[in-house]
A and B are shown apart, each in its own frame.
Chain A
Amino acid sequence: MSHATLSPKRGGTLRGATLPKWFPWAVAVGSIAAGLGISAAAGLGSSIQWALIAAVLFVLGSYAISARIEGRRQAKDRVATSLVWVAFILAVIPLASLVWETVKRGVQVLDGYFLTHSMGVVADTEPGGGIYHAILGTLEQVGLATLFSVPIGVLTAIYLVEYGRGRLAKAVTFFVDVMTGIPSIVAGLFVLSLWVLILDMGPSGLAGAFALCILMIPVVVRSTEEMLKLVPNELREASLALGVPKWRTILKVVLPTSVGGIITGVMLAIARITGETAPVLLLVWGTDFINANPFKDPQESLPMYIYLQYSAGSDPAYDRAWAAALTLIAFIMILNLLARGIARWKAPKTGR
């Protein structure tokens, strides 16, 4: 019975009728033309409006035509496909614009002079000046934070992977997870309440580094933990079987095997904290002058510099902000790419 009803209506193949490959393009061209035509007729100026009309026409048009020829299910599939494409394009526009504008506006004042001079004698409304003091401050604060958090983070990860069983390890794992989600401004407020309000210390690069530590430790712990877990147990067992003490096994076998991944994790963590502004705003304050001493008096940092120049609100200051933003993005991207390169190059061999 069913065979009889499945009559070879559509050219004798098992497949239903399909629209040709150029169909979506044709509908797209048609609907863009119609969109432009309608906006021209109605006198709508904005490019967003004709694009929106065209998009709606495209979705409706392809649904209607496809539903007629291919059937309802295929038509739904086409609508889903176009929605996914729309989502992608919608997201690409702002993200591409962000990168494009930063590069375009950043290169205007970015040169050797800009990198090697401070804002010491430059008024906000004048062109000139540079980010030397900001780079110096960023390097010192991030360096200090790295110095504190890498040993703590790596040792915590070693504890979790090599020693940790039971309640303490569970608690540490849980709170490391929780720490990952602490907003940077809250980390800044904590150091503010302890270091500045209770211990009565002034603003300094060191205080900022403490806050950055709180943001960096969980990232280092998580990435190191993942890497240590990848080290095959056979290596540990072989070393222990030779009578090597556990601590030497960890130092000489486990850590060297996973060092590539650990470095990657640390670099990604550095990249994350380099762009933090809020703790610096609360604890380091920012200055226009060169202060090479991170233990005393306000310092500048790159993100803080961008914020101060933006707040200054003049065109030369905006130019400087963009140039500093480009420097910061370049620094972070280079760190990221290097880290990924190291990860690929030194990926631990997993067992086989």
Chain B
Amino acid sequence: MDISTQNPAAPPALPPDVERKRAARGATRPGDRVFLGLSRGSGIFVLVLMAAIAGFLTYRAILAISKDEANFLTSFEWNPSGVPPQFGIAVLAFGTVVSSVIAMAIAVPIAVGIALFITHYAPRRLGGTIAYVIDLLAAVPSIIYGLWGALILVPHLDGLYGWLDDYLGWTGILEWNGGAPRSMFTVGILLAIMILPIITNVSREVFRQVPRMHEEAALALGATRWEVIRMSVLPFGRSGVISASMLGLGRALGETMAVAMVLSPTFDISASLLDPGGGTFAQNIASKFNEATVMGRDALIASGLVLFVITLLVNGAARMIIARRKEYSGANA
């Protein structure tokens, strides 16, 4: 087949250098065309899929919000099937942010500690084994964390709650009045345990790539092991740790089943983190779905759209930090 038989209007989206390459080879065999078409088609399909996700969610969300009699952003109600329908995401947004912040506050320091333990403190062979096991733990499904959290963790938290109430109850944030510990705080602890493996994995990869020379130079100057870590390992790994934390945060924000199983949800915000109640976007969708009418589902989709946008922003930020230091990327771990 000759190049001149190509319809000039046909490949407008063709990147110029692919075309140049093809011309240089002087052949557009039918097999090549079909194959290129298939593979480019798949790529375009991915784009269409993303557009469709955003588009259809927005469409249904607009249907719901246009009928909403309450303020969608600030209302404390969730009654989309009522007359008139009233619902708002204030409680969900608050719960999602609070539980994720607690999870990050617990998980990030510990994960960095484990990553340092694996790369710099543990005997080499033990470190390798631990890294492998933590890799496997990252694959444990959230439903199992949820089951463990609800049946094992919750009954064991009374002691900790009592202690927090005794010593920190005066702050008001950590006041406990003896209810079952199915609160935002417990959710935060469980989420922390769930995102530990992924933050550890990515941080470990970054710490491992610290140039040996930097560490040896510090050691040669007489630095102790901690000084080596503070002066050469942590500065080098900072952006990697930040992006690892953002990936963990993205996961914590969207976690559904574990939260739904552990939390006893209510639709209000309580001053104390230890009181049962509150809710998160994902948990609310899972819990309310069964009893929802079409209007109720649309309202849930509207809240899902907000979650979608938040996770996109968080993940996008993480990717940007990783892309800036591409060579340390462990993002696909």
A residues near B (Cβ < 8 Å) are 46, 48-49, 73-74, 76-77, 79-81, 83-88, 90-91, 94-95, 97-98, 101-102, 151-153, 155-156, 158-160, 162-169, 171-172, 174-187, 189-190, 192-194, 197-198, 214, 217, 221-223, 226, 245-248, 250-251, 268, 271-272, 274-278, 281-282, 303, 306-307, 310, 318, 321-322, 325, 328-329, 332-333, 336-337
Contact = CB atoms under 8 A, between A and B. Distances in A.
Interface in B244-267: 247, 250, 253-257, 261
19 contacts: A77-B224, A77-B227, A87-B114, A88-B114, A102-B148, A155-B39, A156-B46, A168-B13, A172-B46, A178-B319, A185-B254, A186-B53, A187-B53, A197-B294, A275-B139, A281-B289, A282-B289, A307-B143, A310-B151
Interface string B298-322: 1011001001100110111011000
B159 interface: yes
A245 B29 contact: yes
Most buried by A among B13, B110, B122: B110
A197 B61 CA distance: 12
B81 interface: no
A37 to B, nearest CB: 20
Contacts of A163: 18, 36, 39-40
6 interchain residue pairs of minimum CB distance: A275-B141, A183-B254, A87-B113, A166-B15, A181-B315, A247-B35
B191 to A, nearest CB: 12
Q: Which of B46, B229, B289 has the most CB of A within 10 A?
A: B46
Given A87-B117, A185-B286, A247-B32, A310 B43 contact: no
Contact of A80 (B160, B226, B314): B226
A162 to B, nearest CB: 7
Contacts of A179: 46, 49-50
A281 B254 CA distance: 15
B196 interface: yes
A101 B152 contact: yes
B47 interface: yes
A174 B51 CA distance: 13
A245 B33 CA distance: 11
Nearest to A95: B137
B217 interface: no
B150 interface: yes
Nearest to A281: B286
Contacts of B318: 181
Given A178-B319, A181-B254, A272-B139, 6 more contacts: A79-B226, A88-B130, A91-B110, A168-B15, A176-B46, A278-B286
A79 B225 CA distance: 11
A251 B36 CA distance: 12
Contacts of B50: 175, 178-179
B282 A156 contact: no
Kindly name the residue among A172, A248, A274, A333 whose own CB sees the greatest number of chain B CB atoms within 10 A.
A172
Contacts of A178: 50, 312, 315-316, 319
Interface string B128-154: 001000101101111111111011110
Contact of A155 (B18, B27, B38): B38
Nearest to B282: A185
A183 B227 contact: no
Contact of A77 (B15, B163, B226): B226
A183 B282 contact: yes
A84 B121 contact: yes
Contacts of A272: 139
B257 to A, nearest CB: 5
B297 interface: yes
Given A88-B114, A247-B31, A306-B147, A329 B40 contact: no
Nearest to B261: A310
Contact of A328 (B144, B282, B301): B144
A276 B254 CA distance: 12
A189 B47 CA distance: 18
A247 to B, nearest CB: 4
A190 B56 CA distance: 7
A185 B261 contact: no
B117 A84 contact: yes
Nearest to B107: A91
Contacts of A186: 53, 57, 254, 304, 307-308, 311
A190 B52 contact: yes
B327 interface: no
A264 B331 CA distance: 17
A318 B155 CA distance: 15
Contacts of A322: 147
Query: Counting chain B CB atoms within 10 Å of each CB, which of A46, A95, A193, A198 scores highest?
Result: A193
B144 A325 contact: yes
B82 interface: no
B291 to A, nearest CB: 13
A101 B315 CA distance: 33
Among A85, A159, A271, max chain B CB count under 10 A is at: A159
